[in-house]
């Protein structure tokens, strides 16, 4: 490479560096540090009103804790952020009631239970009514978190139900054997590699896992029985894993009303005494740390969606209990 090409390359690199520095400077100049320091969420008004304030929280996506997504999460469900929002709404003395807009096939047993506990805390510790507005889908874990709500409203075409527990894994032991592939495993006990994809499951292993599934299922039944004021036998009759439309769920007592989000807002407003309530939602804004992290990650960091996908693939190999509808 002669000196002219080196000079041209140097000019290009220099221009790129100048452009990057300029973008950073503009970002810093336009950034209101006082507003965002220590702040994770900001309120966005959905409806004007003077009677009081209602908060609408959106639970959209598989209920699974894949780590905080921050500003780059896009439409990816952020479990920790949702828990924080729910806690904020409960502790805010200016909030009169909470509506959770649910659109999920469910997800992890642990994560669903964490949301359930936050809802109960908002009701019992902070004396806030919690209403559920079901979207296209509120199945399995989506119904688990809805069960303790003061009122559940579903669209006639909502897919809900799928009450039960599932644990699944991929097994390619036979495929590996057909191709002459073998695996060497050194383990401390007979069940250390339970549900391994490299070997056939034994009856004892199946019994162990089934007992865990049954335990979580019984907890699911208890939550519905208490939340919906239904006897356990009735719950078990409808909790066989099947899905229900919103109409069917209304007929069998799993939901209280049929309607949309606006209907749910109206019902909660009536319960609180009527009048026009100011309705807000929370948007993630992040603090100063997220702003600096945003710039650095955007320029040099890995794709957050790729990182999450890698985590999901790795974790799929481990046996995990799920309140999840899989079509």
More confident residue, 164 or 175: 164
Asked if residue 37 has pLDDT above 50, the reply is no
User: Are residues 225 and 231 in contact, defined by beta-carbon separation less than 8 angstroms?
Assistant: yes
Residue 82 lies in a domain: yes
Average pLDDT over residues 231-245: 97
Q: Taking CA 319 as the corner, what is the angle to CA 316 and CA 323, rounded to the nearest 5 degrees?
A: 85
DSSP state of 166: B
Q: How many CB atoms lie within 10 A of CB 261?
A: 19
Alpha helix (H) residue ranges in 165-253: 173-178, 203-228, 232-238, 246-251
- For CA atoms 125, 92, 265, 82, the dihedral sign is negative
User: Which phi-psi region, left, alpha or beta, contains residue 44 (left: φ > 0; alpha: ψ -120 to 50)?
Assistant: beta
Q: How many CB atoms lie within 10 A of CB 255?
A: 28
Asked if residue 208 has pLDDT above 70, the reply is yes
Asked if residue 183 has pLDDT above 90, the reply is no
Residue 90 lies in a domain: yes
Residue 207 φ/ψ, nearest 5 degrees: -65, -40
Asked if residue 273 has pLDDT above 90, the reply is yes
Residue 177 lies in a domain: no
More confident residue, 147 or 200: 147
Helix (H) / strand (E) element for 43: namely strand 41-47
Catalytic residues: 140, 192
DSSP state of 255: -
- Residue whose tokens read 């000196």: 3
Helix (H) / strand (E) element for 243: namely strand 243-245
pTM given for the model = 0.79
Average pLDDT over residues 38-45: 77
Q: Which of 35-49, 57-71, 260-274 reaches the highest mean pLDDT?
A: 260-274
* Domain count for the chain: 1
pLDDT band with cut points at 50, 70 and 90 for residue 320: confident
Asked if residue 298 has pLDDT above 70, the reply is no
The contacts of residue 109 (CB under 8 Å, 6+ apart) are 141, 165, 216, 321, 322, 323
Domain that holds residue 253: 39-165+239-324
Residue 28 lies in a domain: no
Residue 199 lies in a domain: no
More confident residue, 130 or 72: 130
Residue 208 half-sphere exposure toward CB, CA atoms < 13 A: 12
Instruction: Note the pLDDT of residue 3.
Output: 58
Average pLDDT over residues 109-122: 98
Instruction: Note the pLDDT of residue 300.
Output: 46
Which SS3 state, helix, strand or coil, does residue 247 take? Answer: helix
Residue 57 lies in a domain: yes
CATH number at residue 284: 3.90.226.10
Mean pLDDT over all residues of the chain? 84
Residue 113 lies in a domain: yes
Residue 72 lies in a domain: yes
DSSP state of 235: H
């Amino acid at each position: 490479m002669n000196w002219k090409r080196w000079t041209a390359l140097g000019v290009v690199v220099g221009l790129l560096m100048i452009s990057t520095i300029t973008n950073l400077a503009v970002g810093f100049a336009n950034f209101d540090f006082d507003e965002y320091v220590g702040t994770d969420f900001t309120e966005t008004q959905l409806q004007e009103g003077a009677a009081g304030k209602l908060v609408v929280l959106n639970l959209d996506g598989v209920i699974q804790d894949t780590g905080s997504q921050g500003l780059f999460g896009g439409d990816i469900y952020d479990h920790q952020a949702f828990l924080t929002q729910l806690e904020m709404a409960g502790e805010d003395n200016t909030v009169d009631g909470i509506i959770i807009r649910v659109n999920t096939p469910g997800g992890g047993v642990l994560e669903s239970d964490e949301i359930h506990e936050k809802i109960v805390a908002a009701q019992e510790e902070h004396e806030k009514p919690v209403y559920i507005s079901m979207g296209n889908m509120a199945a399995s874990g989506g119904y688990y978190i809805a069960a303790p709500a003061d009122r559940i409203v579903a669209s006639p075409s909502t897919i809900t139900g799928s009450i039960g527990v599932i644990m699944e894994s991929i097994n390619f032991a036979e495929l590996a054997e057909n191709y002459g592939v073998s695996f060497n495993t050194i383990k401390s006990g007979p069940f250390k590699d339970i549900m391994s994809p490299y070997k056939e499951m034994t009856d004892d292993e199946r019994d162990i896992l089934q007992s865990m599934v049954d335990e979580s299922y019984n907890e699911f039944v208890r939550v519905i029985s208490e939340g919906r004021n239904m006897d356990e036998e009735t719950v078990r009759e409808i909790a066989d894993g099947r899905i229900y439309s919103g109409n069917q769920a209304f007929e069998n007592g799993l939901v209280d009303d049929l309607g949309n989000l606006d209907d749910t807002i109206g019902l909660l407003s009536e319960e609180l005494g009527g009048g026009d309530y100011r309705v807000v939602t929370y948007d993630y804004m992040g603090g100063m740390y997220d702003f600096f992290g945003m710039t650095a990650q955007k320029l040099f960091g890995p794709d957050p969606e790729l990182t999450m996908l890698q985590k999901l693939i790795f974790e799929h190999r481990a046996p995990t209990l799920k309140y999840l509808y899989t079509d």
